[in-house]
Amino acid sequence: MFLNWRRGVIASVLIGTLAGSLLTGCGTGNKASGSGSAGNGGKVTTIEYWHVNSENFGGQTVRDLVQKFNEQHPDIKVVEKFQPNMYLGLMQNLQAALAGGHPPAVAQIGYNYLDYATANLPHLPVEDAAKTDPEGQAFLNNYLPNILNLGRVNGKLEGVPYSISNPVLYYNADMFKAAGLDPQNPPKTWAEVRDMARIIKEKTGNYGLYVQEPSDNWAQQAMMESNGAQVLTRTGGKARATFDSPEAIEAYQLMADMVLKDKTALHATWEEGTQAFITGKVGMYVTTIARRNYIETSSKFKVLTAPFPTFGNKPRRVPAGGNALFIFAKDPDQQKAAWEFIKYLESPEALTTWTKGTGYLPPRQDVTDDPRYLKPFMEQNPLMKPAVAQLPDAVPWVSFPGNNGLQAEQVLLDARDAILGGRQPAAEVLKEAAAKVNKLIGN
């Protein structure tokens, strides 16, 4: 019930934001350079910003944004720090840093750790930070209420939604041609994906497919839920792991069969898989739209994107990926600087740079619709279109409740290795893993 409600909200939000609404367009004109940056007696506040953007995942864009902010704010110095292993790795280092008493001021918290971060880590909810700023409310009014819900836990705004993504199917149009497939007709269902992967393997000798395998189960959740499964079912305030249902098993077994039986799909780390795709060794690649810029600029062949494939006629369900910005600074000066930096990152100029440099969809409708900012880009870049088109199919990214959320995520990663590595069939692995996760989240 709860999940359905949340899914409805998110779907309507995302449509609302990106498919066009009128009101927010008038832009409250929140300038990043902000107030109060002058006259601090020459004192410079240094703060850290933690992100997951590696060199081929928008790392350069993060550095550009930070540099620009530092130039505009002589009294604040932001130091950006990359955290490996995606949001899981960032959470782990963050908790250690908090234990050591030196947390970063601002960090990207993946939507899959909102519950965990809010419940376990001391932070300054951005709702409270906004209250100390006379312009705070006006700033938050730039967002549609439902987008802000992505950063809310139990009604409180804990982080400002920053990046929004969903998984799409990238494919190598040149390889499609070489295999005798029509690049204008990418696969729409997983059955077609399997067939085309086989054809690519037979005709070109390359792998047909790679589905991203970072330190999260985002793409796998999209597969299981598009086949009608629920990774986590919430009933009456209690959550249960339900990724061992027949639908979930079927989706995972399809992937395992492609890797182990057909040998048309690649099982490798995210870096290896990405490298394999951009060097033309894999025909189709399911990954986040957030990597659009890197893939587009690094591939020497024609890259196209298609919406995430469905299972027959079943509805597509893609988890809303990305992150919200949280404040972990304890010192009031640092908290103030952190808020100032968040306002900058969420400004129309910075969001435009961010979307162009990564592929993330912006959280602010006014930025998307403004001809001075993203409107021309969104209309011209064909690779972005499937991601925008499937926004109505967004569902929440699973966030395990309780104190053992990090270990629960690891159980799912181990299960993925066990299934795709061929230790046991999907049914057995998922049953075992679900029992374990249920124990960890208190069932």
Q: Which residues bind another protein (CB under 8 A)?
A: 85, 92, 95-96, 98-99, 120-122, 215, 267-269, 272, 275-276, 279, 281, 403-404, 406-407, 410, 413-415, 417-418, 421, 423
- Least distance from another protein to the Cβ atom of residue 138, Å: 34
What would the two tokens of residue 232 be? 């986590």
Rank residues 121 and 441 by Cβ distance to another protein and give the closer one: 121
- Least distance from another protein to the Cβ atom of residue 55, Å: 14
- Least distance from another protein to the Cβ atom of residue 187, Å: 24
Rank residues 189 and 275 by Cβ distance to another protein and give the closer one: 275
Rank residues 60 and 92 by Cβ distance to another protein and give the closer one: 92
- Least distance from another protein to the Cβ atom of residue 121, Å: 6
Rank residues 120 and 253 by Cβ distance to another protein and give the closer one: 120
CA 53 from chain centre, in angstroms, equals 11
- Least distance from another protein to the Cβ atom of residue 428, Å: 13
SS (H, E, C) the chain: CHHHHHHHHHHHHHHHHHCCCCHHHHCCCCCCCCCCCCCCCCCCEEEEEEECCCCCCCHHHHHHHHHHHHHHCCCEEEEEEECCCHHHHHHHHHHHHHHHCCCCCEEEEEHHHHHHHHHHCCCECHHHHHHCCCCHHHHHCCCCHHHHHHHEECCEECCEEEEEECEEEEEEHHHHHHCCCCCCCCCCEHHHHHHHHHHHHHHHCCEEEEECCCCCCHHHHHHHHHCCCCCEEEECCEEEECCCCHHHHHHHHHHHHHHHHCCCEECCCHHHHHHHHHCCCEEEEEEEHHHHHHHHHHCCCCEEEEECCECCCCCCCEECEEEEEEECCCCHHHHHHHHHHHHHHCCHHHHHHHHHHCCCECCCHHHHHCCCCCHHHHHHCHHHHHHHHCHHHEECCCCCCCCCHHHHHHHHHHHHHHHHCCCCCHHHHHHHHHHHHHHHCCC
- Least distance from another protein to the Cβ atom of residue 45, Å: 24
Rank residues 132 and 269 by Cβ distance to another protein and give the closer one: 269
- Least distance from another protein to the Cβ atom of residue 248, Å: 18
Rank residues 3 and 413 by Cβ distance to another protein and give the closer one: 413
- Least distance from another protein to the Cβ atom of residue 381, Å: 29
- Least distance from another protein to the Cβ atom of residue 245, Å: 22
Rank residues 56 and 410 by Cβ distance to another protein and give the closer one: 410
Tell me how far apart the 2 most distant CA atoms of the chain are, in Å.
Answer: 70
Rank residues 115 and 366 by Cβ distance to another protein and give the closer one: 115
Rank residues 269 and 297 by Cβ distance to another protein and give the closer one: 269
Q: Is 403 left (phi over 0), alpha (psi -120 to 50) or beta?
A: alpha
- Least distance from another protein to the Cβ atom of residue 32, Å: 32
Tell me the sheet residues that pair with 167. Answer: 288
∠ at Cα 346 (337, 58), nearest 5°? 100
Rank residues 56 and 72 by Cβ distance to another protein and give the closer one: 56
